[in-house]
Amino acid sequence: MLHASVGPWSALADAFKTPPVDRPVTDEKYATSYNNFYEFSLDKDEVKKKVEAWTVGPWKMEVSGLCANPKTWELPELTKMMGTEERIYRFRCVEAWSMVVPWTGFQLSKLIDLARPKPEAKYVRMTSFMDKAAMPNITRQPQYPWPYTEGLTLAEARHPLTLLATGLYGKPLPRQNGAPIRLVVPWKYGFKSIKSIVKLEFTSTEPKTLWNELAPAEYGFYANVNPGVDHPRWSQASERTLDGSFFPKKIPTLMFNGYEKEVASLYTGLDLKKFY
Ligand SMILES: Nc1nc2c(c(=O)[nH]1)N[C@H]1C(S)=C(S)[C@@H](COP(=O)(O)O)O[C@H]1N2
Ligand SMILES: [Mo]
């Protein structure tokens, strides 16, 4: 079992074969009570309460689009087939707060290998569960292009750091964190890490995504963590750690959220001073 008081952090990450993290694991109570899950509420402190009315039933995840082996998976069958492992990742929200959390899950690359994308597949598009009765904010925000969708290039989706998570702190994923299965892309802003996924499709063109469609000047498709490119309304040079204090510790934001060595080769040729 993972515990926030275990250290040193680099050795811990090493044990899980993940790149070293340079700071302590966030206390579980903060990671599970300060959540962005807009289908439920815009208020991060309220999401945990609102999800109480949502019963996560038997889960199916459709894998379809441009692939040789489309299939709708029952979640237990899928996780059994994939196997799971623990990963400790830094996580950085576009709103300039961050945490370090231990996920349980499997590499998205494994599922992609199984689906066998066709040569013309260049992207993956993912869609969140949507239930207006259980998710009160969907009706309240009719201007949002629901359901929540996100996307990655196929190369990003195949990167070994890209995870489909089914657990957090050694337990099944809490509803507020995107039960029962969500994406985790640690070098991108948190909004790319789509929760409660019901569909994954291979596409030939860049998929539309909720945030990019709603505010393209603020939320890019790539959305790689970059301290040198500010959000139009705030600086991205530093971040507040989720530590429960009224004046949270501020730390410098790292290029690609500290995963530059691992992912920079995905972006050769891109001008990293620009907004994408
Ligand atoms: N379906 C869905 N996925 C989502 C969101 C959301 O509102 N709906 N919010 C995103 C944002 S902005 C962040 S920062 C992370 C938050 O994940 P956490 O609550 O586990 O910290 O989830 C992302 N995935
Ligand atoms: Mo976020």
What are the structural domain ranges in the chain?
Answer: 9-274
Query: Per the CATH hierarchy, to which homologous superfamily does domain 9-274 belong?
Result: Oxidoreductase, molybdopterin-binding domain (3.90.420.10)
**Residue 8's pLDDT band (cuts 50, 70, 90):** very low
* % of the chain exceeding 90 in pLDDT: 91
**Substitution candidate for ligand 1 out of 49, 163, 193 with most atoms within 8 A of CB:** 193
Using the predicted structure, report yes or no on whether residue 5 has a pLDDT greater than 50.
no
Question: What pLDDT sits at residue 14?
Answer: 56
The neighbouring-strand residues paired with 42 are: none
Alpha carbon distance 242, 118 (integer Å): 41
Residue identifier of the C-alpha nearest atom 5 of ligand 1:
37
Alpha carbons 16 and 56: distance in angstroms, whole number: 29
* Closest residue to atom 19 of ligand 1, CA basis: 35
Could you tell me what percent of the chain has a pLDDT over 70? Answer: 94
The two beta strands, 71-74 and 60-65, are antiparallel
With a cut of 90, say whether residue 228 has pLDDT above it.
yes
| pTM of the predicted model as reported, rounded to 2 decimal places | 0.95
Nearest CA to ligand 1 atom 14: 190
What number is the average pLDDT over the span 79-91?
A: 95
Residues within a 6 A CB radius of ligand 1:
35-39, 93, 128, 148, 177-178, 190-191, 193-196
- pLDDT, tens digit, for every residue of 201-214? 999 999 999 999 99
The pLDDT, as a whole number, for residue 22 is: 87
User: Please, are residues 182 and 126 in contact by the beta-carbon 8 Å criterion?
Assistant: no
Is residue 50's pLDDT more than 90?
yes
Q: Which two tokens stand for residue 93?
A: 């929200």
- Convert the pLDDT of each residue in 14-35 to its tens digit: 555 678 888 999 999 999 999 9
Would you state the pLDDT for residue 19?
Answer: 84
Q: Separation of 119 CA from ligand 1 center, angstroms? A: 31
Q: How far is residue 163's CA from residue 109's CA, in Å, rounded to a whole number?
A: 8
The first and second tokens of residue 92, run together, are 């950085």
Interval 268-274 mean pLDDT: 93
* C-alpha 138, offset from chain centre: 20
> Hey, whose CA ends up nearest to atom 23 of ligand 1?
191
pLDDT at 7 over 50: no
How does the average pLDDT of the chain come out, rounded? 94
Q: Ligand 2: distance of its center to the CA of 24 in Å?
A: 20
Is-contact 107 183, C-beta < 8 A?
Answer: no
